[in-house]
Structure 1
Amino acid sequence: MTTPEHEPPAPQPSASEFQDRVHRSSAGIAGGVLLLAIILWLGVDALVTGQGRTPWLALAGMILAVPLVVAFTVRPAVYANADRLRVRNPFRVIVLPWGQVSGLRSGYSNEVFDKAGTKYQLWALPVSLRARKRAARRQARATVATARATGGTSAGGAGDTAADRDPIRTDTDQFMNDLREVQEAREHAESAQGEVTVRWAYEIVGPALAGAVVLAVLIAVG
Protein backbone atom coordinates (compact mmCIF):
# COMPACT_ATOMS: atom_id res chain seq x y z
CA MET A 1 0.00 0.00 0.00
CA THR A 2 1.48 3.28 -1.05
CA THR A 3 0.91 6.51 0.79
CA PRO A 4 0.01 9.59 -1.22
CA GLU A 5 2.80 12.05 -1.63
CA HIS A 6 2.27 15.42 -0.07
CA GLU A 7 2.50 18.33 -2.46
CA PRO A 8 5.09 20.92 -1.47
CA PRO A 9 3.62 24.21 -0.23
CA ALA A 10 3.24 26.95 -2.80
CA PRO A 11 6.15 29.38 -2.64
CA GLN A 12 5.35 32.71 -1.02
CA PRO A 13 5.83 35.82 -3.18
CA SER A 14 9.10 37.57 -2.40
CA ALA A 15 9.44 41.28 -1.78
CA SER A 16 11.24 41.75 -5.08
CA GLU A 17 8.10 40.70 -6.97
CA PHE A 18 6.23 43.83 -5.85
CA GLN A 19 7.25 47.15 -7.32
CA ASP A 20 6.92 50.38 -5.37
CA ARG A 21 3.71 52.15 -6.32
CA VAL A 22 2.39 55.65 -5.77
CA HIS A 23 -0.98 57.16 -6.54
CA ARG A 24 -1.92 60.84 -6.50
CA SER A 25 -5.06 62.54 -7.77
CA SER A 26 -4.19 64.33 -11.02
CA ALA A 27 -7.48 66.26 -10.88
CA GLY A 28 -6.75 67.36 -7.32
CA ILE A 29 -3.25 68.51 -8.23
CA ALA A 30 -4.52 70.46 -11.25
CA GLY A 31 -7.22 72.12 -9.18
CA GLY A 32 -4.75 72.92 -6.41
CA VAL A 33 -2.26 74.54 -8.79
CA LEU A 34 -5.06 76.66 -10.26
CA LEU A 35 -6.24 77.77 -6.80
CA LEU A 36 -2.68 78.59 -5.72
CA ALA A 37 -2.18 80.69 -8.82
CA ILE A 38 -5.38 82.66 -8.10
CA ILE A 39 -4.49 83.14 -4.43
CA LEU A 40 -0.98 84.33 -5.23
CA TRP A 41 -2.22 86.63 -7.98
CA LEU A 42 -4.83 88.30 -5.77
CA GLY A 43 -2.53 88.34 -2.75
CA VAL A 44 0.44 89.91 -4.49
CA ASP A 45 -1.84 92.48 -6.11
CA ALA A 46 -3.21 93.41 -2.67
CA LEU A 47 0.30 93.62 -1.24
CA VAL A 48 1.48 95.95 -3.99
CA THR A 49 -1.55 98.17 -4.49
CA GLY A 50 -3.42 97.86 -1.17
CA GLN A 51 -3.75 100.68 1.32
CA GLY A 52 -3.80 100.71 5.12
CA ARG A 53 -4.27 97.26 6.63
CA THR A 54 -5.06 95.62 3.30
CA PRO A 55 -1.50 94.38 2.59
CA TRP A 56 -1.26 92.84 6.07
CA LEU A 57 -4.66 91.17 5.72
CA ALA A 58 -3.64 89.83 2.32
CA LEU A 59 -0.36 88.49 3.70
CA ALA A 60 -2.09 86.77 6.63
CA GLY A 61 -4.73 85.37 4.31
CA MET A 62 -2.09 83.88 2.03
CA ILE A 63 -0.21 82.36 4.98
CA LEU A 64 -3.46 80.69 6.02
CA ALA A 65 -4.84 79.72 2.61
CA VAL A 66 -1.74 78.42 0.82
CA PRO A 67 -0.95 75.57 3.28
CA LEU A 68 -4.62 74.52 3.37
CA VAL A 69 -4.88 74.40 -0.42
CA VAL A 70 -1.64 72.42 -0.63
CA ALA A 71 -2.84 70.06 2.11
CA PHE A 72 -6.10 69.12 0.43
CA THR A 73 -5.04 69.11 -3.24
CA VAL A 74 -1.31 68.68 -3.91
CA ARG A 75 -0.15 66.85 -0.79
CA PRO A 76 -2.33 63.67 -0.60
CA ALA A 77 -0.61 60.53 -1.90
CA VAL A 78 -0.60 56.79 -1.27
CA TYR A 79 2.70 54.90 -1.39
CA ALA A 80 2.86 51.11 -1.36
CA ASN A 81 5.71 48.63 -1.49
CA ALA A 82 6.19 45.01 -0.49
CA ASP A 83 6.42 45.79 3.23
CA ARG A 84 4.12 48.67 4.04
CA LEU A 85 1.48 51.16 2.99
CA ARG A 86 2.20 54.85 3.56
CA VAL A 87 -0.77 57.20 3.45
CA ARG A 88 -0.09 60.93 3.17
CA ASN A 89 -3.31 62.73 4.04
CA PRO A 90 -3.83 66.51 4.40
CA PHE A 91 -2.69 66.72 8.03
CA ARG A 92 -1.23 63.30 8.86
CA VAL A 93 1.13 60.64 7.53
CA ILE A 94 0.13 57.08 8.40
CA VAL A 95 2.50 54.14 7.90
CA LEU A 96 0.88 50.70 8.06
CA PRO A 97 2.96 47.53 7.70
CA TRP A 98 0.98 44.98 5.70
CA GLY A 99 0.89 42.72 8.73
CA GLN A 100 -1.16 45.38 10.54
CA VAL A 101 -3.68 45.93 7.73
CA SER A 102 -6.95 44.09 8.27
CA GLY A 103 -8.69 45.27 5.11
CA LEU A 104 -9.28 47.92 2.47
CA ARG A 105 -12.80 49.13 1.73
CA SER A 106 -14.20 50.99 -1.26
CA GLY A 107 -17.57 52.68 -0.81
CA TYR A 108 -18.31 56.36 -1.00
CA SER A 109 -14.67 56.78 0.02
CA ASN A 110 -11.61 54.55 -0.02
CA GLU A 111 -10.43 53.45 3.41
CA VAL A 112 -7.89 51.19 5.08
CA PHE A 113 -8.38 49.47 8.46
CA ASP A 114 -5.68 48.30 10.83
CA LYS A 115 -5.89 45.27 13.13
CA ALA A 116 -7.09 47.49 16.00
CA GLY A 117 -10.10 48.53 13.93
CA THR A 118 -8.94 52.10 13.32
CA LYS A 119 -10.06 53.52 9.99
CA TYR A 120 -7.91 55.80 7.83
CA GLN A 121 -9.31 57.53 4.76
CA LEU A 122 -7.22 57.55 1.59
CA TRP A 123 -7.51 61.16 0.45
CA ALA A 124 -5.36 60.54 -2.64
CA LEU A 125 -7.89 57.97 -3.91
CA PRO A 126 -11.14 59.92 -4.26
CA VAL A 127 -14.25 58.02 -5.31
CA SER A 128 -16.05 59.22 -8.43
CA LEU A 129 -19.52 57.71 -8.77
CA ARG A 130 -19.72 59.11 -12.29
CA ALA A 131 -16.48 57.36 -13.25
CA ARG A 132 -17.79 54.12 -11.75
CA LYS A 133 -20.97 54.37 -13.82
CA ARG A 134 -18.91 54.93 -16.97
CA ALA A 135 -16.75 51.92 -16.13
CA ALA A 136 -19.88 49.83 -15.50
CA ARG A 137 -21.30 50.82 -18.91
CA ARG A 138 -18.01 49.95 -20.63
CA GLN A 139 -17.95 46.64 -18.76
CA ALA A 140 -21.50 45.83 -19.90
CA ARG A 141 -20.70 46.68 -23.52
CA ALA A 142 -17.49 44.63 -23.41
CA THR A 143 -19.33 41.64 -21.93
CA VAL A 144 -22.05 41.77 -24.60
CA ALA A 145 -19.53 42.17 -27.42
CA THR A 146 -17.40 39.28 -26.18
CA ALA A 147 -20.44 37.06 -25.69
CA ARG A 148 -21.59 37.73 -29.25
CA ALA A 149 -18.14 37.04 -30.66
CA THR A 150 -17.75 33.74 -28.78
CA GLY A 151 -21.35 32.60 -28.97
CA GLY A 152 -21.79 33.10 -25.21
CA THR A 153 -19.14 30.53 -24.23
CA SER A 154 -15.38 30.53 -23.76
CA ALA A 155 -12.64 28.27 -22.47
CA GLY A 156 -13.64 29.16 -18.92
CA GLY A 157 -17.16 27.75 -19.31
CA ALA A 158 -20.58 28.84 -20.44
CA GLY A 159 -21.16 32.52 -19.94
CA ASP A 160 -17.60 33.09 -18.72
CA THR A 161 -16.32 35.80 -21.04
CA ALA A 162 -12.96 37.54 -21.10
CA ALA A 163 -14.65 40.72 -19.91
CA ASP A 164 -16.02 38.85 -16.87
CA ARG A 165 -12.55 37.54 -15.97
CA ASP A 166 -10.89 40.94 -16.44
CA PRO A 167 -13.47 43.55 -15.36
CA ILE A 168 -13.13 47.19 -16.31
CA ARG A 169 -12.53 49.44 -13.28
CA THR A 170 -11.81 53.07 -12.62
CA ASP A 171 -8.19 53.99 -11.94
CA THR A 172 -8.74 54.35 -8.19
CA ASP A 173 -10.73 51.10 -7.93
CA GLN A 174 -8.01 49.28 -9.85
CA PHE A 175 -5.36 50.70 -7.52
CA MET A 176 -7.40 49.60 -4.50
CA ASN A 177 -7.66 46.11 -6.00
CA ASP A 178 -3.88 46.03 -6.49
CA LEU A 179 -3.39 47.06 -2.85
CA ARG A 180 -5.65 44.21 -1.70
CA GLU A 181 -3.60 41.72 -3.71
CA VAL A 182 -0.35 42.97 -2.16
CA GLN A 183 -1.87 42.89 1.33
CA GLU A 184 -3.10 39.32 0.91
CA ALA A 185 0.27 38.18 -0.43
CA ARG A 186 2.47 40.00 2.10
CA GLU A 187 0.52 40.18 5.37
CA HIS A 188 2.44 37.24 6.89
CA ALA A 189 5.88 38.20 5.54
CA GLU A 190 8.48 38.81 8.24
CA SER A 191 9.58 42.12 6.76
CA ALA A 192 5.96 43.35 6.62
CA GLN A 193 5.44 43.32 10.39
CA GLY A 194 5.68 46.21 12.80
CA GLU A 195 3.61 48.93 14.42
CA VAL A 196 1.29 51.48 12.85
CA THR A 197 2.73 55.00 13.11
CA VAL A 198 0.89 58.29 12.73
CA ARG A 199 2.70 61.62 12.36
CA TRP A 200 1.08 65.04 12.22
CA ALA A 201 2.12 67.25 9.30
CA TYR A 202 3.43 70.18 11.31
CA GLU A 203 4.81 71.73 8.13
CA ILE A 204 1.18 72.25 7.11
CA VAL A 205 -0.49 72.80 10.49
CA GLY A 206 2.09 75.30 11.75
CA PRO A 207 1.89 77.90 8.94
CA ALA A 208 -1.90 77.55 8.72
CA LEU A 209 -2.31 78.21 12.46
CA ALA A 210 0.10 81.14 12.29
CA GLY A 211 -1.84 82.67 9.42
CA ALA A 212 -5.15 82.14 11.24
CA VAL A 213 -3.82 83.81 14.42
CA VAL A 214 -2.43 86.82 12.57
CA LEU A 215 -5.62 87.19 10.54
CA ALA A 216 -7.76 86.99 13.69
CA VAL A 217 -5.63 89.63 15.46
CA LEU A 218 -5.81 92.01 12.51
CA ILE A 219 -9.59 91.64 12.30
CA ALA A 220 -9.97 92.03 16.08
CA VAL A 221 -7.95 95.26 16.32
CA GLY A 222 -9.96 96.75 13.48
Structure 2
Amino acid sequence: MTTPDHESPAPQPSAPETKDRVYRSPAGIAGGVLLLAIAGWLGIDAIVSGHGRTPWLALATLILIVPLVAAFTLRPAVYANEERLRIRNPFRVVVVPWGQVVSLRSSYSNEVVAKSGGKYQLWAVPVSLRARKKAARRDARATADRAAEASGRGRRGRMGGLGGGFGTGGFSGGAAVPEGPARAETDKVMDDLRELLEARGEAESTQGEVTVRWAYEIAGPAVAGAVLLAILVALG
Protein backbone atom coordinates (compact mmCIF):
# COMPACT_ATOMS: atom_id res chain seq x y z
CA MET A 1 0.00 0.00 0.00
CA THR A 2 1.52 3.29 -1.06
CA THR A 3 1.29 6.36 1.05
CA PRO A 4 0.44 9.67 -0.62
CA ASP A 5 3.27 12.10 -1.02
CA HIS A 6 3.12 15.06 1.27
CA GLU A 7 3.02 18.16 -0.88
CA SER A 8 4.91 21.20 0.33
CA PRO A 9 2.65 24.15 1.04
CA ALA A 10 2.31 26.65 -1.76
CA PRO A 11 4.30 29.83 -1.18
CA GLN A 12 2.22 32.66 0.08
CA PRO A 13 2.10 35.69 -2.20
CA SER A 14 3.99 38.66 -0.85
CA ALA A 15 1.97 41.59 0.35
CA PRO A 16 1.38 44.07 -2.44
CA GLU A 17 3.25 47.33 -2.19
CA THR A 18 1.14 50.35 -1.45
CA LYS A 19 0.57 52.70 -4.33
CA ASP A 20 2.55 55.88 -4.45
CA ARG A 21 0.96 59.24 -3.96
CA VAL A 22 2.50 61.39 -6.66
CA TYR A 23 2.93 65.12 -6.19
CA ARG A 24 4.04 67.34 -9.08
CA SER A 25 3.82 71.02 -9.98
CA PRO A 26 1.19 71.66 -12.70
CA ALA A 27 2.59 75.15 -13.29
CA GLY A 28 6.08 73.74 -13.73
CA ILE A 29 4.89 71.11 -16.19
CA ALA A 30 2.94 73.67 -18.22
CA GLY A 31 5.90 76.04 -18.29
CA GLY A 32 8.26 73.24 -19.31
CA VAL A 33 6.07 72.12 -22.19
CA LEU A 34 5.83 75.71 -23.43
CA LEU A 35 9.60 76.28 -23.19
CA LEU A 36 10.38 72.99 -24.95
CA ALA A 37 7.93 73.82 -27.73
CA ILE A 38 9.55 77.24 -28.28
CA ALA A 39 13.08 75.83 -28.15
CA GLY A 40 12.18 73.02 -30.53
CA TRP A 41 10.52 75.37 -32.99
CA LEU A 42 13.41 77.84 -33.05
CA GLY A 43 16.12 75.18 -32.96
CA ILE A 44 14.70 72.99 -35.72
CA ASP A 45 14.07 76.04 -37.88
CA ALA A 46 17.72 77.09 -37.44
CA ILE A 47 18.96 73.58 -38.24
CA VAL A 48 16.86 73.30 -41.38
CA SER A 49 17.17 76.85 -42.69
CA GLY A 50 20.52 77.98 -41.27
CA HIS A 51 23.78 78.32 -43.17
CA GLY A 52 27.40 77.76 -42.25
CA ARG A 53 27.89 76.95 -38.58
CA THR A 54 24.36 78.00 -37.61
CA PRO A 55 22.84 74.49 -37.81
CA TRP A 56 25.64 73.09 -35.62
CA LEU A 57 25.30 75.89 -33.09
CA ALA A 58 21.53 75.33 -32.98
CA LEU A 59 22.02 71.59 -32.51
CA ALA A 60 24.52 72.05 -29.69
CA THR A 61 22.23 74.58 -28.00
CA LEU A 62 19.29 72.17 -28.20
CA ILE A 63 21.38 69.34 -26.73
CA LEU A 64 22.30 71.63 -23.84
CA ILE A 65 18.97 73.34 -23.22
CA VAL A 66 16.42 70.53 -23.65
CA PRO A 67 17.73 68.30 -20.80
CA LEU A 68 18.04 71.30 -18.46
CA VAL A 69 14.53 72.55 -19.17
CA ALA A 70 13.13 69.05 -18.70
CA ALA A 71 15.15 68.61 -15.49
CA PHE A 72 13.80 71.74 -13.82
CA THR A 73 10.19 71.60 -15.07
CA LEU A 74 9.00 68.14 -16.13
CA ARG A 75 11.23 65.88 -14.04
CA PRO A 76 10.65 66.99 -10.41
CA ALA A 77 8.19 64.76 -8.56
CA VAL A 78 7.61 63.41 -5.06
CA TYR A 79 6.44 59.82 -4.58
CA ALA A 80 5.18 58.87 -1.13
CA ASN A 81 3.81 55.60 0.19
CA GLU A 82 3.64 53.91 3.58
CA GLU A 83 7.27 52.79 3.45
CA ARG A 84 9.30 55.66 2.10
CA LEU A 85 9.50 59.06 0.45
CA ARG A 86 11.13 59.20 -2.99
CA ILE A 87 12.20 62.65 -4.14
CA ARG A 88 12.99 63.14 -7.82
CA ASN A 89 14.81 66.45 -8.14
CA PRO A 90 16.46 67.91 -11.27
CA PHE A 91 19.77 66.08 -10.85
CA ARG A 92 19.19 63.55 -8.05
CA VAL A 93 16.78 60.88 -6.89
CA VAL A 94 16.68 60.60 -3.10
CA VAL A 95 14.90 57.75 -1.31
CA VAL A 96 14.24 58.42 2.37
CA PRO A 97 12.51 55.73 4.48
CA TRP A 98 10.01 57.27 6.88
CA GLY A 99 12.04 55.96 9.79
CA GLN A 100 14.92 58.19 8.72
CA VAL A 101 12.85 61.39 8.50
CA VAL A 102 13.24 63.83 11.37
CA SER A 103 10.93 66.53 10.08
CA LEU A 104 9.30 68.10 7.04
CA ARG A 105 10.03 71.82 7.06
CA SER A 106 8.31 74.64 5.21
CA SER A 107 9.73 78.14 5.06
CA TYR A 108 10.90 79.65 1.78
CA SER A 109 11.20 76.10 0.42
CA ASN A 110 9.84 72.70 1.41
CA GLU A 111 12.45 70.21 2.52
CA VAL A 112 13.00 66.90 4.29
CA VAL A 113 15.44 66.65 7.18
CA ALA A 114 16.94 63.20 7.72
CA LYS A 115 18.44 61.75 10.89
CA SER A 116 21.85 61.79 9.22
CA GLY A 117 21.60 65.57 9.04
CA GLY A 118 20.96 65.69 5.32
CA LYS A 119 18.43 68.18 3.97
CA TYR A 120 16.66 67.46 0.71
CA GLN A 121 14.58 70.08 -1.04
CA LEU A 122 11.25 69.11 -2.61
CA TRP A 123 11.50 70.73 -6.05
CA ALA A 124 8.09 69.34 -7.05
CA VAL A 125 6.40 71.07 -4.10
CA PRO A 126 7.55 74.69 -4.36
CA VAL A 127 6.52 77.26 -1.78
CA SER A 128 4.30 80.02 -3.14
CA LEU A 129 4.22 83.02 -0.83
CA ARG A 130 1.57 84.53 -3.08
CA ALA A 131 -0.64 81.45 -2.66
CA ARG A 132 -0.13 81.58 1.11
CA LYS A 133 -1.19 85.23 1.24
CA LYS A 134 -4.19 84.48 -0.95
CA ALA A 135 -5.21 81.60 1.32
CA ALA A 136 -4.77 83.81 4.39
CA ARG A 137 -7.03 86.50 2.88
CA ARG A 138 -9.63 83.88 1.95
CA ASP A 139 -9.51 82.48 5.48
CA ALA A 140 -9.90 85.97 6.97
CA ARG A 141 -12.95 86.63 4.78
CA ALA A 142 -14.48 83.29 5.73
CA THR A 143 -13.90 84.00 9.43
CA ALA A 144 -15.54 87.41 9.08
CA ASP A 145 -18.51 85.89 7.22
CA ARG A 146 -18.99 83.24 9.92
CA ALA A 147 -18.84 85.90 12.66
CA ALA A 148 -21.41 88.04 10.83
CA GLU A 149 -23.65 85.02 10.31
CA ALA A 150 -23.40 84.04 13.98
CA SER A 151 -24.17 87.61 15.03
CA GLY A 152 -27.23 87.71 12.76
CA ARG A 153 -28.40 84.34 14.04
CA GLY A 154 -28.09 85.57 17.63
CA ARG A 155 -30.18 88.65 16.88
CA ARG A 156 -32.84 86.55 15.17
CA GLY A 157 -32.91 84.19 18.14
CA ARG A 158 -33.44 87.06 20.59
CA MET A 159 -36.25 88.46 18.43
CA GLY A 160 -37.91 85.08 18.34
CA GLY A 161 -37.68 84.73 22.10
CA LEU A 162 -39.21 88.15 22.70
CA GLY A 163 -42.01 87.90 20.20
CA GLY A 164 -42.80 84.25 20.71
CA GLY A 165 -44.05 83.89 17.18
CA PHE A 166 -40.89 82.70 15.43
CA GLY A 167 -40.12 79.78 17.70
CA THR A 168 -37.05 77.57 17.17
CA GLY A 169 -38.34 75.38 14.39
CA GLY A 170 -36.80 77.49 11.66
CA PHE A 171 -33.31 76.85 13.10
CA SER A 172 -33.73 73.26 14.24
CA GLY A 173 -30.83 72.15 12.04
CA GLY A 174 -28.29 73.63 14.46
CA ALA A 175 -25.27 75.75 13.70
CA ALA A 176 -23.20 74.90 10.66
CA VAL A 177 -19.85 73.27 11.35
CA PRO A 178 -17.15 75.85 10.58
CA GLU A 179 -14.69 74.93 7.89
CA GLY A 180 -10.99 74.59 8.62
CA PRO A 181 -8.53 77.36 7.81
CA ALA A 182 -7.75 77.90 4.14
CA ARG A 183 -4.38 76.50 3.07
CA ALA A 184 -2.19 76.91 -0.01
CA GLU A 185 -2.03 73.78 -2.18
CA THR A 186 1.63 73.07 -1.44
CA ASP A 187 0.99 73.48 2.29
CA LYS A 188 -1.79 70.88 1.97
CA VAL A 189 0.71 68.52 0.33
CA MET A 190 3.12 69.01 3.24
CA ASP A 191 0.25 68.31 5.66
CA ASP A 192 -0.39 65.00 3.85
CA LEU A 193 3.29 64.06 4.09
CA ARG A 194 3.41 64.95 7.78
CA GLU A 195 0.42 62.70 8.42
CA LEU A 196 2.26 59.82 6.72
CA LEU A 197 5.38 60.55 8.77
CA GLU A 198 3.41 60.59 12.00
CA ALA A 199 1.62 57.36 11.15
CA ARG A 200 4.58 55.40 9.73
CA GLY A 201 7.72 56.94 11.20
CA GLU A 202 8.11 54.28 13.92
CA ALA A 203 7.04 51.23 11.87
CA GLU A 204 9.60 48.44 11.51
CA SER A 205 9.20 48.28 7.74
CA THR A 206 10.11 51.95 7.33
CA GLN A 207 13.62 51.67 8.77
CA GLY A 208 16.59 51.77 6.43
CA GLU A 209 19.19 54.00 4.90
CA VAL A 210 18.87 57.08 2.76
CA THR A 211 19.98 56.47 -0.83
CA VAL A 212 20.96 59.09 -3.37
CA ARG A 213 21.34 58.49 -7.11
CA TRP A 214 22.61 61.13 -9.52
CA ALA A 215 20.62 61.66 -12.74
CA TYR A 216 23.34 60.95 -15.30
CA GLU A 217 20.67 60.71 -17.99
CA ILE A 218 20.16 64.45 -17.51
CA ALA A 219 23.71 65.58 -16.76
CA GLY A 220 25.32 63.56 -19.58
CA PRO A 221 23.50 65.15 -22.55
CA ALA A 222 23.70 68.62 -20.98
CA VAL A 223 27.47 68.34 -20.51
CA ALA A 224 27.87 67.00 -24.06
CA GLY A 225 25.89 69.92 -25.44
CA ALA A 226 27.91 72.42 -23.40
CA VAL A 227 31.22 70.94 -24.60
CA LEU A 228 30.09 70.93 -28.24
CA LEU A 229 28.85 74.51 -27.97
CA ALA A 230 32.13 75.63 -26.36
CA ILE A 231 34.15 73.99 -29.13
CA LEU A 232 32.08 75.63 -31.86
CA VAL A 233 32.38 79.05 -30.23
CA ALA A 234 36.14 78.62 -29.71
CA LEU A 235 36.67 77.66 -33.34
CA GLY A 236 34.95 80.86 -34.37
* TM-score of the aligned structures, taking structure 1 as reference length: 0.85
**Identity between Structure 1 and Structure 2 (%):** 70
Letter in 2 for 1:115: K
Question: Residue type of the partner of 1:30?
Answer: A
Q: 1:194 aligns with which of 180, 183, 208?
A: 208
State the partner residue of 1:214. Answer: 228
Distance 2:50 2:20 in 1: 49
Report the Cα offset of residue 26 of structure 1.
0.4
The alignment status of 1:137 with 2:151, answered yes or no, reads no
**What is the match of residue 182 of structure 1?**
196
Report the 3-state secondary structure (helix = DSSP H, G, I; strand = E; otherwise coil) of the residue aligned with 2:38. helix
Partner of 1:65: 65
The 5-angstrom pairing of residues 1-222 of structure 1 reads 20-151=20-151, 162-163=178-179, 166-222=180-236
Q: 1:20 and 1:59 mapped to 2: Cα distance?
A: 38
Partner-residue secondary structure (3-state), 2:95? strand
What is the Cα deviation at residue 148 of structure 1? 3.1
Q: Give the gaps of 5 or more residues in structure 2.
A: 1-14, 153-176
Map Cα deviations across residues 50-71 of structure 1 (whole Å, 9 max, x no partner).
Answer: 1111100100000000000000
Q: Give the CA deviation at 1:141.
A: 1.3
Moved more, 65-74 or 135-144: 135-144
TM-score (norm 2): 0.80
- CA shift for structure 1 position 117: 1.5
Helix, strand or coil at the partner of 1:79: strand
Shift of 1:151: 4.7
Structure 1 spans left out of the alignment, 5+ residues = 1-14, 153-160
Partner SS state of residue 59, structure 1: helix
2: distance between equivalents of 1:124 and 1:91?
13
Distance 1:96 1:142 in 2: 38
Dislocated runs of 4+, deviation >6 Å? none
CA RMSD between the two structures: 1.8
Which of the two has higher C-alpha Rg? 2
CA deviations 1:136-170 (Å, max 9, x no partner) are 01111112222333459xxxxxxxx724xx22111
Rounded Cα–Cα distance in structure 1 between residues aligned with 2:78 and 2:221:
24
